[in-house]
Each structure stands twice: as C-alpha cells, then as structure tokens.
Structure 1
Amino acid sequence: MTTTTDAAPAKERGSARVAVQKFGTFLSNMVMPNIAAFIAWGLITALFISDGWLNGVGAEKNFAADSWVAQIGGWGDFDGGGIVGPMITYLLPILIAYTGGHMMYQVRGGVVGAIAAVGVITGTSIPMFMGAMIMGPLGGWSMKKIDAIWDGKIRPGFEMLVNNFSAGIWGGILAFVGFFVMSPIVTWISDTLGAGVQWLVDNSLLPLTSIIIEPAKVLFLNNAINHGVLTPLGTAESVEAGKSILFLLEANPGPGFGLLLAFAVAGTGLARASAPGAMLIQFVGGIHEIYFPYVLAKPRLIIALILGGMTGVFTNDLFDSGLRAPAAPGSIIAVMLQTASDSYVGVTLSVVASATVTFLVAAFMLRLERNRGEVDLAAAAAEMESMKGKKSSVASTLTAQSAESGPIRKIVFACDAGMGSSAMGASVLRRKIQKAGHGHVTVVNKAISNLEDEWDLVVTHQDLTDRARQKSGSAIHVSVENFMDSPSYDDIVDLIDSMGDGGGAHPRTSAPAPSEAPVAGGAATATRPELLVDGAVVLTGTATTQADAINEAGNLLVAQGYVTQDYVTSMHEREKSVSTYMGEGLAIPHGTNEAKGEVRSTGLSFVRYPGGVEWGAERATFVIGIAAVGDEHLSLLQKVAVVFADSEAVARLERATSAAEVRAVLESAEG
C-alpha cells in the first residue's frame, strides 16, 4: 500500500529531474562544442591584457601604446581594439547561437540563429551569452516552422530565391526583435542573477552553493546550473575583473579526487580496486562522471562532497582567486591553464583543501560502514546510466570489471515488438562481431515480453532498459539511442575481446533461440523481393509530419493486404513508447507486440521523402513500414541494415527512380 501511494510522487520527481536534465543537456550542447574558443580566448587574455603575462606579471610594463602586444590585448579595454574584446563580445556568443540554431535546423537554422543573436549582442553592453542561448535556438526553430509552410509548394527553379530571401528577411526581423525587445529582458535577467551572486559573495555565503551543485552533479543536473547560469555570469565577471570564482564552483576536481582516494584507502572489493584508475580519469582527464557510481552506491557520501566543495569555494573566496575562462573538461590541467595570474596560490590550495576534506570525511564514513558488505558498483553504474538516459563510456569500465568472468556467447536485442528495431540492431552488431572473428557469438532479436534470464548480454533502447533488467537480471545490459550506428557496439566487441567468446556451446543452453535471424551467408539469407512489391514503394512521400508518415507507410501495408487498419493504429501506439527512428535518416514504424494478430501476411512498405520529414528530434528521409507474421522479413531487414551503413548505397536509394531500383540496391547488399 505504501509503495502504491509513493509511486506517483516518485514518478513526478523523476519527471522533473529528467526535464531539468534535458534542459541542462540542451544548454550544454550549445556551449561544449565551442569550449575550444573559450580556451583560446582565455589564453589570449592571460597573455596580452594589461595585467597579463606579457604586459604585467613577469614582464616590465615598458611597451609602447602602439606595440604589437598592446594591439592584440587592447591594453585591457575589452570594448576597444585588439583581439580580446571582439572575441568575447561577438565571436563566442555568435558561435553559441549558431550551434543552438544548428541543433534545431541544421546549417540553415544555424545561420538564422546567428543573425538573430547579433541583434541581442549589439543591443547591450555586456557579453550576451544568455541572449545567444535564446535567440540561436529560436532562430533555428522558427525558420524550420516557416519553411514547413511552403514545403513542396515552391515552383521548380525558384527554390534558391525563396530559401535565401526567406532566411534573410526572417533573420533580419529576429535581429530587430533581439535588439529592441530581447536585449533589455536578458540584461535585466543577467543583472538580477549577478546581484544575487554578489549578495552571496558580500555575505560570505557563496560556499553554500555546494549544497546544490554537488548533488546536482551526481544527478546530471549540473549542466543546467553550470552552462545556463555560471558560465554566462562568470564570463561577464571575467570581462570586468579579469577572472571569476564562478568558473570554479562546479569544475573544481578536488572533491571528486578526495572521494576516490577515500575508496582507494578505506573501500573494499571492486570499489577499492577500481578507484586508483578512476582517480586518473577524473583528476587528469577531467571526467567527473567516473565517480558518480561510487556516490550512488553509498549515497550518504554526498555529505563529504558537499563539505569538500564548500571548503574549495571558501578557500577561493578567501584568496580572491578565480579563472579567466571556463575549464572544460574539469581537469586539473584545464583549471591551471585558465587560472588568473594572481590566483595560482588560491586555486591550488582550493583543490588541495577540498580534496583533503572530502577524503577525511568519506574515509571516516567508509570505515564505519565496512562491516555492511561490499559496494555493488555495477548496480550503481547501471543506476547512473539510467539517470543519465544514455550509455556512459566511463561507467562501462566499472561495469566490465564487475561482470562475470565467463565469456559472452549469447546476445539478444530486445524491443517492444521484436520485429523491427531489434532486428536491425542485431544485424549491425552481428556483422561487427563476425568481422572481429567471434563466430561462436550469437546475436538474436526478441520482444521484451519474451525475454528470459538466459542471456549473457542484452541490448535495448535506453527507454526500455529497466524493463529488460526485470526479465534478464543476470545479464550485462547495454542501452543505446541509435540502433543503426551506436558507439556502444564497438564497446561490446571490445568487451567480447577482453572476456572471450568461449568457442563452444553455451553452458545454459546450446539450442538456438527461436527468433534468431539466419546467419549471414547461408541460403536462408537471400533477399525476398516479394516482401517489397511495386505497389508498396513510394519514391516521393506526401506526408509532412511524423504521424502522417506513419499513416502513409501503414496504409500501403493495408492496401497490399498485409495488415488490417487497426494495425496502423498500433503503429502509432508503438511510436509513443519508443521511437522507431534508427539513425542515418531511416525510420521503421511497426505495430506493437499485442497487434500481431492484425497481421495477415508478412510484407514491407517503402516511402522516400526527398526533403525529409521531422521524426521527433531527428529527420527521416526513408520510412519503411513493417508487418511480420514470423521471421520472413528478417533477411530483408538485414539487407536494409547493411545498406544504411553504406553511404554510397544510401545515395543510390536517394537517386532511385523506380521500385525495381530500390530492390536492386537492397539485393546488392551483402547480408
């Protein structure tokens, strides 16, 4: 009864966390690709401004006003000449705006987003990072919606004219809005947040921010705080003061290093054995994510991190130390490179002090808990990946160490219905494994409802991993976002290399799984052209939305007598649970497992959208509808998987002028 009562609030809390996490990831995706530009600006600033290394520390200030050093730095005048001022005022915000627009609508969205950002940049006297984060995505998103209004309605020969003028006119309008409307609003927001931070500094309360920041890091919510608030405010402060303590609130590697050191000294089992390697990754590599599973395994250790973080902030506040630009990743190398010339003592002490406090508190707590059993680091790493929402490359190093020492011989791809997404992913991974020389490893696909606890490794879409774990708890579980081209597949091959494939029958069962696709190369793998008849191929789809595209592909299946109309409805239901977008411009909508009774015979439909159709956050050029009674369609899906892994084959599909050419491309693939 208690569990039922608490379920809804827990779900709401999880949804709120995921929403903040996604927002933070969105902000991070605008900033992180441009970190190199921030680093370049920080280094130029450190060298050439009036109190920089070439003008101040370690050098006599005897340069003439027209010397090349003064010209580069602008003699500390960030709004004047030189390189420093234009980089922070124009280059960095425009890069962020372009990236945000590109995320929404590729290059066209990036260009319009950059134009729009110029308005908000020139309408204020402060570096306009927040404005760029707003106007960039807004420009890309709005341009995408405008283009959709006349998509397919422009007369041939006028496309370039309409595209260029529509983007130019709309970009100009947004620049006008940014200058007169958005600039005052964002300036007010920035000033308000800045005043709040200054109030914390004036009242010596800044260390209290660690109470929020340290738990947020472990919950993957730090990006919303760091890139949404601290980086813009810190950059504005650095422009005025030459440095900012705000860049160190989240990036300080000291607390994480202290925690891992405590596990290396006072931990047990795998946690103790893996901690030294994790320390190197965290402290030098700057990947703080590596220590999150240790905290999730012992949640009360967050107290040690908070106390260590507060110590670091207090030390930096005491010595008035800071960085010139963001340190990303949070490596000690990046931190030291961005440290202001008068802050090396304070920054160094803050790292040492925060690591020491975290170590002492965490080691004490671990000593008290030593009699409570070994830390389940693998479960904590899995929980971390679940919270993150995608595969973690650093967590896999911990998971691999905790996995059974036995070889991996049986791998299953599981999805909701077991007829489409999983079959494609299984085909891609099977080829990789076979090319790596592991012929004894079987890779099959199943519906999640049919899973049993008999598999060595289970691959699922990230939204289905928790369900798969309930069915096959003893297996290694790998979450993917893109079934066609996931970097996790290479990780799986590496894991098989390290653990072996056994070279023989599986100890649990030697019988092949009933849903196993035929091994490539045999007679059973020949393409079945009758599964893709002329009447089920459309080379210029008319749908403009994802829902319409599913209807178009589904109605072709109905027209050929493969399915009933109810099956098309189930295709929409399937899409609500997990996206059928496979990557590489391909979507394969199909019905749910419960709707298999609506399938009369096996068949496929093929629809090409030359301009693409929006599919969630992606854009699909090819939509292949699937109806399957048994496994008859799997051989053709193997061919499809091979084709879409080959850019030249995809280009041939884009140029195809008949259904026969489409089948020829699929037939040419080496299944």
Structure 2
Amino acid sequence: MANPEMESPANSSSRSARAKVQAFGGFLTNMVLPNIGAFIAWGILTALFIPTGWMPNENLASIVDPAINYLLPLLLAHTGGKLVAGNRGAVMGTIGAIGLIVGADIPMFLGAMIVGPLGGLVIKRFDRLVENRIPAGFEMIVNNFSIGILGFLLMIFSFSFIGPVIEAVNNAITVAIEALVATGFLPLLSLINEPAKVLFLNNVIDQGIYYPLGFQSAAETGKSIFFTVASNPGPGLGLLLAFTIFGKKTARQTAPGAAIIHFFGGIHELYFPYVLMKPITLIGMIAGAMTGIVVFSAFDAGLVAGPSPGSIISYLALTPRGSYIGIILGVVAAAAVTFVVTSFFLKLDRKKDNDEDLASSIEKSKAMKSEGKKVLNFSNDNENKNEISKISFACDAGAGSSALGATTFRKKLQKKGIEGIEVKHYRIEEVPEDTDLIVVHKDLSDRARNANKHANIVTIENYINDENLEELLNELESEHQK
C-alpha cells in the first residue's frame, strides 16, 4: 500500500491543481445555485408565452428579453460579489455588471460571473487597506463613498473594456460549439464531459460553459441542447443498473438505492465512486452520453433552462412544447447504451474480481480502520480526546451528496441511540471552524484540507454505504457506551 508521505511531487502537484479547479467549480456552483429558481421562472415564462410556446402571448412574452438581459445577469453578479465580500461585495458586483450589460449586445452571463466576484474582490481589498485607519465618526461616509467611487470606476471599466472582451470570447466559443452542432460532432464533447464529471469538475463545465451558452441560445429559440450536454441522467442510470445486475458484493447492494436517488433526485455524484472503482466503465458513460446527444440532436430537442438538480423530474419540467419525445428518447437511449457497455465490462472482468478483490478489501479495511481510529484520537493530552459533538459532511455545493450523507448518517446515529452529536452538511469552503470531523469524498480531500487546514477529515467513497463511515459509526457507538 502506498505511503502518503512518499507521494511524488508531481502527483502532489497534480492533486493540488485538481483541488483548485474543483474549488473554482464549487464557487461557480454557489454563484448559480441560489439563483436557479429565477432561471427556472424565466424558462417557464419562455416555454409558455413566446410565439412557439404552449400559450403564445405577445404581451407577457415582452418580459422575456428584459429578464434574460438584466434580471438574471444582475442576480449572478450580486451573488458572486456577496460570496467574496458579503453585502458590500454584492452591491459592488451589481454596479459593475450594469455597465457590462448595457455595453454588450448579448446576455452577459459569463461577464456577470466575472465582474460580480471582481467587484467583491475590489471592495474587500479596499476595506482591508483602510481597516483601523478610518477616523471615528467617519465610518459611514467612507463606506458609502468607497462603494460609490469604486463602483463608478468598475462600471465604466466594465462598459468600455470587460464587456467587449467577454462578448468577443463568447462569440468565438459559440461559433466553435455551433460548428460542432452543424457538423454533427457535438457528441464528441462527451469525451471531455464524462471524465471531468467523475473528477468532480462537473460544475466547472455546466455552470461555467454550458449554462451561459444555453441561456443565450434559449433566448433566441426558446430551448437549447446545451442544457442536456453534460446533465443527462440517463448514463448514470444505465451504469447503476448494470452494477445492480452484474456488480459484486457492496456495489451490487448499494447500486439500486443510488440509482433511484440519482435518477429522481438528480444527485449525479452518487455514481462517481462506481466509475472510479472500475475506470473502464467510463467507456460506457461516454458511449451513453454521446448517444443521448445524438438523439437530442436528431429530434431537435432541448430544455428551456438548466436542470438543477439533473434529475428526470427537472428534465420533464423544463422540456418545452415539441421536445418531449426527443428528451425522453435521449435519456432512455443514453441509459440503455451505458447499461449494455458497462454490463459487458463487468461480466468480462468478473473473474479478475474474484481473484483480487479479497486481498485488496482486507488491506482497504485495515487502512480504513486505522484511519478511523486516528481521526478519533485528536490529542493525547486532551481529557476529552474522543468526544465528538459536531460532524460536517461536505461536498462541492453543500446541497447534494453531502446532504444525503448527513441525513443518512444522522438516522444511523438515532437508530443506535447515540445522542449529542450534531450532523450537518456544508459546502467545503463553508464548514464551520468548530467542526470536530469533516466527512468528504476522497477525491475532494485535497480541497477540503486546503479550505480547512486544521480539521480532522474522514474520507469516503460512497455517501450511502461506506466502510469508513461504518467504522466511524462503530467507534462513536463504543465511545457512547463507555
């Protein structure tokens, strides 16, 4: 078994870089996620009242353009600024975004996701610079005029420079992807999407690229295939069904529950550990995702907004008139192809599992047991070294797999009669400092350590049924009975 202390500098650097990209994706998610309701409201408005909608209404359709050009980008900028510098950052980001919006001819989603945090960063740096230097009684005037002056400068800069640059970049990306659509090569994006997803970079792709392009396209046609390129729940369903039938031991037992939650709840992170456990199944995921895009394209299908979470319920709710057949067939076809390909590899690899799994499971069990005990022994000179009062489950956005894991673990504590332990879920960067233990997926562990440098971390591979979680549960039960 590899010694973590002997990890090569190249591997360490690679993991650190991935953690930083994951953190960036998490930031994008936390900028978009609070505003998903507004995007869905715009999608419903578009699906109902534009000329090709369910109930065409010229008067109500007049809201569509102002909403996508002003409301949605301003919300993104406001949230982005707030993430960086609280309410003052939110105001700065919004001021900067209005210059950006007025200075461009396209919906400024990408621009707002840049200018919002930039505004927050500017005012945050200013506040640090003048901290403890403002004369008593002048705090309010400095606070107000600093936002006024710096906001004015950012607004002009956004109008004159950032807007035109973002528009040019956006046009270039749009032309490139539209060329893929026109030539029928759009399915090739799955070669990038699927590996990136299982490395927890799905939010970078969706929120950073496909959503902005999708909304721009939907504003013109009332729907967009870009919303389906990386969010199709079909491949994940096909993978988990294959493990349900042809998987072994724990994988076979946990896959049915994971399939239900993934497909109907939209938590795609649940299937990531299964792919990481057998990387060759990534071929099935890519094949299924490609098939889904081919079907969506053939039926000219698309969604009116980004499906968040990426469940079949969200898909059907955001499907416009005339796209239901294409959307349903695309999801079903993606699931079927992934199921067939994954099943082939699972059956082909079955004997190898029998020969090697036992030894690796024993080693894995020992490592997990050792890690679990180490986690609980915080300090040799602390009288209450084994007392745990707060456990935080953490994930990329703090609202998907971590929420599921926290709820499941909390119920297990209740069943065993263990009281006095608070179990909650958070975004990795927002875990409270008073947390005793952080539970996080192993592929997000570097990011968790970067954000919580002095925290005790338990790494897992499956948020529903993980041996390391069981070991932790047993340790807590033992301590509770003393």
**CA positional deviation for 1:10:** 2.2
Distance (Å, rounded) in 1 between the aligned partners of 2:451 and 2:88: 16
* Superposed displacement of residue 226, structure 1: 1.2
Length, aligned pairs only: 413
Bigger relative contact order, structure 1 or 2 (CA pairs below 8 A, ≥6 apart)? 2
1:213 aligns with: 193
Cα deviation, residue 373, structure 1: 3.1
1:622-656 deviations in whole A, cap 9, x for unaligned?
A: xxxxxxxxxxxxxxxxxxxxxxxxxxxxxxxxxxx
The 1-side partners of 2:208 and 2:64 are apart by 23
Shift in Å, 1:293: 1.0
Give the secondary structure class of the aligned counterpart of 2:105. coil
Aligned to 2:43: 42
Give secondary structure in 2 for the equivalent of 1:157: coil
Instruction: Note if contact 1:413-1:423 (Cα within 8 Å) is conserved in structure 2.
Output: no
Q: 2:291 aligns with which of 305, 311, 314?
A: 311
Map 1:580-659 onto structure 2 (within 5 A): 583=433
Q: 1:210 to 1:165 in 2, by over 3 A?
A: same
- Please, which runs of 5 or more residues in structure 2 have no aligned partner? 397-401, 421-428, 436-449, 453-482
Q: Deviation at 1:497?
A: 3.2
Shift of 1:161: 1.5
Q: For residues 99 and 127 of structure 1, do their structure 2 counterparts lie closer, same or farther at Cα, with a shift above 3 Å needed?
A: same
Contact 2:377 2:385 in 1 (8 A): no
1:287/1:330 contact within 8 Å kept: yes
Match of 2:376 among 405, 413, 416: 413
1:141 aligns with 121
1:495 lines up with 2:412 in the alignment? yes
The alignment status of 1:175 with 2:92, answered yes or no, reads no
Structure 2 CA distance for aligned equivalents of residues 184 and 418 of structure 1: 60
Pairwise CA distance, 1:93: 0.7
How many Å apart are 1:201 and its aligned residue? Answer: 1.1
Q: Does 1:283 align with 2:284?
A: no
Q: Which runs of 5+ in 1 are unaligned?
A: 56-68, 75-82, 384-398, 433-458, 462-477, 502-518, 520-578, 586-615, 619-671
> Equivalents in 2 of 1:156, 1:338: separation in Å?
54
* Partner of residue 459, structure 2: none
CA distance in 2, matches of 1:366, 1:328: 31
Where does residue 18 of structure 2 map in the other structure? 17
The alpha-carbon distance between structure 1 residues 44 and 480, as it changes in their structure 2 partners (threshold 3 A), is closer
Decide whether the 8 Å contact of 2:224 with 2:304 is kept in 1. yes
Q: Which amino acid aligns with 1:495?
A: K
- Measure, in 2, the Cα distance between the counterparts of 1:176 and 1:424: 57
Corresponding residue SS for 2:229: helix
Distance 1:250 1:490 in 2: 27
Whether the 8 Å CA contact 1:98–1:113 is kept in 2: the answer is yes
Match of 2:318 in 1: 338
One of 178, 191, 203 as aligned partner of 1:223:
203
State the one-letter code of the partner of 2:11.
Answer: A
After TM superposition, give the deviation of residue 414 of structure 1 in Å: 4.9
Q: Give the TM-score normalised by structure 1.
A: 0.57
Does residue 73 (structure 1) correspond to residue 61 (structure 2)? The answer is: yes
Q: Trace 1:499-518 onto structure 2 (pairs within 5 A).
A: 499=416
Matched AA of 2:376: F
| Distance in structure 1 (CA, Å) of the matches to 2:226 and 2:262 | 20
CA contact (8 A) 1:412 1:426 kept: no
Change (3 A) 1:325 1:479: closer
Structure 1 counterpart of 2:414, one-letter code = D
Q: Secondary structure at the match of 2:376?
A: strand
Q: 1:52 to 1:16 in 2, by over 3 A?
A: same
- RMSD of equivalent CA atoms: 3.5
- Whether the 8 Å CA contact 1:297–1:376 is kept in 2: the answer is no
Where does residue 33 of structure 2 map in the other structure? 32
Deviation track 1:257-310 (CA, whole Å, cap 9, x = no partner) reads 000111111112221121111111000000011111111111100000000000
- The verdict on how the C-alpha distance between 1:123 and 1:18 changes in structure 2, with shifts beyond 3 A counting, is same
Alpha carbons of 1:479 and 1:144: their partners in 2 closer, same or farther (altered >3 Å)?
Answer: closer
SS of the residue corresponding to residue 346 of structure 1 reads helix
Conserved 8 A contact 2:111-2:162: yes
Percent identical: 44
Q: Residues 499-521 of structure 1, C-alpha deviation per residue, up to 9 Å, x if partnerless?
A: 567xxxxxxxxxxxxxxxxx9xx
Counterparts in 2 of 1:203 and 1:171: CA distance versus 1, 3 Å: same
1:104-143 pair list within 5 angstroms: 104-143=84-123
Letter in 1 for 2:80: G
